[in-house]
Amino acid sequence: EPEVTQTPSHQVTQMGQEVILRCVPISNHLYFYWYRQILGQKVEFLVSFYNNEISEKSEIFDDQFSVERPDGSNFTLKIRSTKLEDSAMYFCASRTLAGYTGELFFGEGSRLTVL
> Rule CB under 8 A: which residues touch other proteins?
4, 31, 33, 35, 41-45, 48, 50, 55-56, 91, 93, 95, 97-109, 111
* CA-wise closest residue to 83 among 20, 38, 36, 17: 17
Question: Which residue, 14 or 54, has its beta carbon nearer to other proteins?
Answer: 54
In the complex, minimum distance from the CB of residue 17 to other proteins, in angstroms, rounded to a whole number = 24
Kindly tell me which of 7 and 50 has the beta carbon lying closer to other proteins: 50
Residue 61's identity, in one-letter code, is F
107 close to 9: Cβ distance less than 8 angstroms: no
| CA-closest candidate to residue 88, choices 107, 65, 63, 113 | 113
Cα separation, 100 vs 73, in Å, equals: 24
Closer to other proteins by CB, 7 or 41: give it. Answer: 41
Q: Is 54 helix (H, G, I), strand (E, B) or coil?
A: strand
17 vs 41 by CB, closer to other proteins: 41
Smallest separation, CB 16 to other proteins (Å)? 27
Instruction: Please report how close the Cβ of residue 109 comes to other proteins at its closest, in angstroms.
Output: 5
Backbone angles phi, psi at 89, to 5 degrees: -90, 130
Q: Smallest distance from the beta carbon of 44 to other proteins, in angstroms? A: 7
